[in-house]
Amino acid sequence: MKPYLLTRSLQPENQETPIQFIETDFLSNDLFYRRNHFSYPLLSAANYWIPLNGSVNTPILFSMQDILQLPSKTINVVLECAGNKRSLFEPKVFGEQWGKGAMSQGIWKGAPLRALLELAGIKDGATEVVVEGYDFGKRTDLDHVFTFTRSLPIEKALHPDTIIAYEYNHQPIPFKHGFPLRLIVPQWYAMASVKWIKQITVIEQNFTGPFQSIDYVYYPHKETNKDARPVTTMNVNSTIQKPLDRDTLNTGKHLIKGIAWTGKGSITKVEVSTDNGQTWSNAKVDNGDYPGYEWVSWSHEWTIVEKGDYTIMSKATDSFNRVQPTSPLWNRKGYGYNAVDEIVVKVE
């Protein structure tokens, strides 16, 4: 028996990973969540070129072959949609009502964006690198057709692990996930990882496209845009995979298990509570060789003696001492939910 993606919308296609049922660290294509703003563009690898232009000494038109010949980097990365867990916000917010599965993990191989930028030579006044995707369409709030386009600050664009990927799990990138080339930005929410790259432009201002300056912004207030700030690094987070929410269990021994991840440093601790947060124990965390872009799996053995309802919680801490909060930071568009994870079980 195998799990399936969960459909949230069909046009464009938005589907969620059944995260509670994932037992591997490398998700195959058929279990990898899909988050699209528009219809899929149809591209072929033949005749595929990407221009790098703007504030550079030498604009370059890269062929697929050029990029395959650059030194490569292979990294295991969590991609998490900024809207993951949005449905858990109270009060509720508009947008895709993602549960806990707008996230995924696997192995990406590609050329560092840095290598391309170095070949072209960035000019002194450059501040951001804009990456445009081939997909396009209308928005409900503006009167134009837009492509999905995002920018990165120069430092993040030059990070050696920000890559132009051409393989996922040792195969060409699946069509729905950005074939033939996709940007992968480890540690940032996944809106930064632009699929189906069309062109790269170095600029000397702040990029203000709608997917940069309207969406993917935290708006802490319902009525005004006061204190708005851009969505970037993933928050520290964890998800309980087992037992399932609202399971009924027998008394005796049970294994509580799940995953934890962060966009800063690495996971240093996961705590589990089986009494609604009154007391906490350290879970066993598998973080042997841990560079920090992937999730860690954790587990905790629980022996239940008494029947009743139990609220189980998980709380992760990262190496920057960021801890999952008891309540999430509410924001109007519902990004970055990372409150302590919680499920309820009945023991009978």
Ligand X SMILES: Nc1nc2c(c(=O)[nH]1)N[C@H]1C(S)=C(S)[C@@H](COP(=O)(O)O)O[C@H]1N2
Q: Site residues (CB under 6 A) for ligand X? A: 32-37, 79, 81, 104, 133, 135, 148, 177, 190-191, 193-196
324 binds, among Mo ion, ligand X, none (CB under 5 to 8 A by kind): none
- Amino acid, single-letter form, for residue 254: H
Phi-psi region of 274 (alpha: psi -120 to 50; beta: other; left: phi over 0): alpha
Q: In the complex with Mo ion, which residue's Cβ is closer, 129 or 191?
A: 191
Alpha-carbon Rg for the chain, nearest whole angstrom, is 21
Contact between residue 101 and residue 190 where contact means Cβ atoms under 8 Å apart: no
On the 0-12 / 13-18 / 19+ scale of CB atoms within 10 A, 41 is middle
C-alpha 343/C-alpha 309 separation (Å) is 11
* Residue nearest Mo ion (C-beta atom): 81
Is 95 or 220 the residue whose CB approaches Mo ion more closely? 95
Q: Would you list the DSSP string of 121-135?
A: -B-TT--EEEEEEEE
Residue 106 or 243: the one with the smaller Cβ distance to ligand X is 106
Q: What count of other Cβ atoms lies within 10 Å of the Cβ of residue 140?
A: 4
Q: Which is nearer to Mo ion, 35 or 322 (CB)?
A: 35
Query: Which of ligand X, Mo ion, none does residue 261 bind to, with CB < 5 to 8 Å depending on kind?
Result: none
For residue 189, the minimal CB distance to ligand X (Å) is 7
122 secondary structure, DSSP code = B
Name the minimum Å distance from CB 333 to Mo ion: 11
- Name the minimum Å distance from CB 190 to Mo ion: 5
- Rounded least distance, CB 276 to ligand X, Å: 32
Residue 177 touches which of Mo ion, ligand X, none (Cβ within 5-8 Å per kind): ligand X
φ/ψ (deg, to 5) at 176: -75, -10
Query: Nearer Cβ to Mo ion, position 54 or 83?
Result: 83
195 binds, among Mo ion, ligand X, none (CB under 5 to 8 A by kind): ligand X
Q: Which does 193 bind (CB under 5 to 8 A by kind): ligand X, Mo ion, none?
A: ligand X
Cβ closest to Mo ion, residue 16 vs residue 271: 16
Query: d(Cα 41, Cα 107) in Å, to the nearest integer?
Result: 23
Residue nearest to ligand X (CB): 133
Binding site for Mo ion (CB under 5 A): 35, 81, 191
CB of 96 to ligand X, least distance (A): 9
The minimum distance between CB 242 and Mo ion, in angstroms, equals 26
Distance of closest approach, residue 296 Cβ to ligand X, in angstroms: 21
- Residue 148: which of Mo ion, ligand X, none does it interact with, CB under 5 to 8 A by kind? ligand X
Residue 268 or 331 with smaller CB distance to ligand X: 331
Do residues 44 and 134 touch, judged by C-beta distance below 8 A?
Answer: no
* Cβ contact 324:316 at 8 Å: yes
Determine the Cα–Cα distance for residues 342 and 287; give it in Å rounded to an integer.
22
Tokens 């709608």, located at residue: 210
Q: Which of 327, 331, 326, 329 is nearest to 93 (CA)?
A: 331
